[in-house]
Amino acid sequence: MIQFILRRLLVTIPVLFGIIFITFALARIIPGDPCRAVLGERATDAVCDDFIARYGLDEPMPTQFVIYLGQLAQGDLGESIKYSRPVTALLVERLPTTIELTLLALTFAILVGVPLGLISAVRRNSAADVGTMVFANVGVSMPVFVLGLLLAYVFAIVFKDTPLALPPSGRLGSGVTVVPLAAVWGLQDLQGVPRGILDFLSGIYLFSALITGQWAAWADAFRHMILPAIALGTIPLAIIARITRSSLLEVLGHDYVRTARAKGLRENTVILRHGARNALLPIVTVIGLQLGLLLSGAVLTETVFNLTGAGRTMFDAITGRDYVVIQGLTLVIAVIYVTVNLVVDILYGVLDPRVRLQ
Amino acid sequence: MTTAPTTAPLVEAVDTARPASLWRDTLGSILRQRSAVVGLAILGILVFVGVFAPLIATHDPDQVLLGVEDGVKKRAAPCIHVLGCPADQPQHLFGTDGNFRDVFSRVVYGTRTSLPIGFAAVGFAIVVGTLIGAIAGYAAGSADNVLMRAMDVVLAFPSLLLAIAIVISLGTSYINALFAIAIVSIPVYARLVRSSVISAKENDYVTASRALGESSYGILTRRIMPNAITPIIVQGTLGIGTAVLEIAALAFIGAAPIGAPEWGSMIALERNQLFTAPHIILAPGIAITFTVLAFNLLGDGLRDALDPRLNR
């Protein structure tokens, strides 16, 4: 088991190195004067000389790469031109929104997608099955931003002044705040990395409001996240439903399922205990892969719903050609994606002994 | 994914009397898949609309109609005369946008951006991916290792984000968007071809060809590659759908030129008018959804029809 985990870790190292290399290379293929491309046309020569010296842009490429690695090792992702702040600081402030959104979307996708898939497989060719599969087909085909805009229109305009009305933008209603953990726990004097971690956790409102018992704020934050989470979660939901269906159909054809039925077990027991338990294994892998879709989709969803997360920051950076932010975010999100998939791989090995023996 | 075919077995019995033809058999099994037929039908309509766009569009897609057409309003709701829209208002099937342009004509012309870019991006990715996968699978050893680790790195990025980073670095244009979408989808085809090559190259008929003195190139192209074609066709069809989604997404977030009659950028331009003029967003939104749906249905149908392991 430990050998399996170590092997997986070792395979990940070159991939991480490759990711860093690609982000480095992308920064170097921007056409024209690199300093003025990043800092803007009006940058003075003095500012540019300073910039070139800082990133070693007059050095040979390999040296530049070493400088870049050194900066990354110190947690330096460069500085945003638009905000005049380090990208790391922006991330601590904004990544929590994205994490909250993606986790909620993923939860929605699993909680709805898995049962839908199971029902479709059990009631194969029934109206429920056909309906689910039509929904799944349309669901994977609709762009996240179109669905998001449609949801915003329906729940904010059509259902306006009804109990179904939901806020179409922002994270909290006006006047509502979530008191940060540092303030609740009287840790305002805390500095440095521990404070950063605490602020980061505070930014995940659904988590920080929950553990500090700020119920009204929690409910408000949740209401604001419903539409974005549905918009973002629908494509993964459709994919999960389809995989669950085909996976359960395959498992139900196995001999041991026939044996279970022959033993006279109740149909529910056969499907849930013998069928679903094995059918859900492949879904673990799928969920890891969906994270890529979710993180990409977060850029679109946060833009549609005006959520100031990492995705929205990406959008602003694209609009303002804030190259340093784009590269920093791409790198960090890719690393998160790889890490989650590593964890999923290992988890899969824990759940299915056949995998780790390969 | 789709259900078992429902055609009457009688028809098949008559067919078998004729000499079997590979192409007719294949076409027949594709047409027995309901989803493939629906997908093909939608795709046929889209291609038709794209080819005959100048005849179908009611207006010039880029023409600002202010001052050109009497009574034209900014962001006017759809007005169709036969459906009871007053005759004194100018007819616009999907209304007009914020620049006094005809939304219907822009949606029609949008097929001319999304479909060609989708096809070209996937075509490019298939060519490069096949080359990489074939070399990796056939050569094995260190070449395989280097190539596939490189593919792993590309796959390690969420694809849309990598595409954004590439387009922004190269400069925003549709050609660069095409290129970026192609690059991020190369690994899928490379892996597909590699696994087909690896499983095919141990077959006896390959060993026989080698014993007969056929060159490596000949073995690869004539004996091994035909095995990889089916999965590539299926994946490529689904891939075009993904590419169309990605083009729209790139345009929506401003990583493609704004202003062209392209569905994603049409939505981006009028996003803030959602609550006052939803039709401007709905029309291109439905166009994207239908296009992607067509390729997804066709891809699923092709997989069910062409995969011998799923044979009825």
Question: Which residues in chain B (195-254) have CB-CB distances under 8 A to chain A?
Answer: 241, 245, 248-249, 252-254
Question: Which residues in chain B (149-188) have CB-CB distances under 8 A to chain A?
Answer: 149-150, 152-154, 156-162, 164-166, 168-171
* Six-digit token string for A336: 């998160």
Q: What is the pLDDT of residues A146-173, one digit of tens each?
A: 999 999 999 988 888 888 888 888 888 8
Average pLDDT, chain B: 85
Buried b (16+ CB within 10 A) or exposed e, B121-140: bbebbbebbbebbbbbbbee
Q: What is the pLDDT of residues A67-97, one digit of tens each?
A: 888 888 888 888 887 788 899 888 888 999 9
d(CA B167, CA B301): 33
Tell me the CA end-to-end span of chain B in Å, nearest whole number.
13
Closest CA to B96 of B113, B71, B118: B71
Q: What is the pLDDT of residues B138-186, one digit of tens each?
A: 888 898 999 998 999 998 888 899 999 899 888 888 999 999 999 999 9
* Six-digit token string for B131: 């080359």
Q: What is the pLDDT of residues A173-228, one digit of tens each?
A: 888 888 888 888 888 888 878 888 888 888 899 898 888 888 888 999 999 999 99
Q: Do residues A149 and B27 make contact, with C-beta atoms less than 8 angstroms apart? A: no
Instruction: Reply yes or no on whether the pLDDT at A229 is more than 90.
Output: yes
Contact residues, chain B, for A148 at CB < 8 Å: none
Share of chain A above pLDDT 90, in %: 26
Kindly list the domain boundaries of chain B, sorted by start residue: 33-57+105-306
Cβ contacts below 8 Å, chain A against chain B, sum to 148
d(CA B28, CA A145): 38
Closest CA to A223 of A157, A303, A156: A156
pLDDT for B312 equals: 40
Residues of chain B with pLDDT under 50: 1-2, 7, 311-312
Measure B152 CA to nearest chain A CA, in Å: 7
Measure A191 CA to nearest chain B CA, in Å: 33
Distances (CA, A) of A204 to A170, A211, A214, B20, B90: 14, 11, 13, 64, 51
Length of chain A, in residues = 358
Q: Is the whole-model pTM more than 0.90?
A: no
Q: Is A334 close to B159, i.e. CB distance below 8 A? A: no
Q: Is B271 close to A319, i.e. CB distance below 8 A? A: no
d(CA B173, CA B191): 29
d(CA A285, CA A287): 5
d(CA B268, CA B254): 8
Q: How many CB atoms lie within 10 A of CB B171?
A: 12
ipTM for the whole complex: 0.87
Three-class SS of residue A130?
helix
d(CA B96, CA B75): 5
Distances (CA, A) of A230 to A81, A147, A164, A285, A298: 33, 9, 15, 21, 12
Q: Does domain B33-57+105-306 have CATH number 1.10.10.10?
A: no
A136-140 long-range contacts, CB within 8 A, separation 24+: A136/A237, A136/A238, A136/A239, A136/A241, A136/A242, A137/A238, A137/B35, A137/B293, A137/B296, A137/B297, A137/B300, A138/B289, A138/B293, A139/A234, A139/A235, A139/A237, A139/A238, A140/A235, A140/A238, A140/A239, A140/B292, A140/B296
Q: Is B164 close to A327, i.e. CB distance below 8 A? A: no
Q: Do residues A300 and A145 make contact, with C-beta atoms less than 8 angstroms apart? A: yes
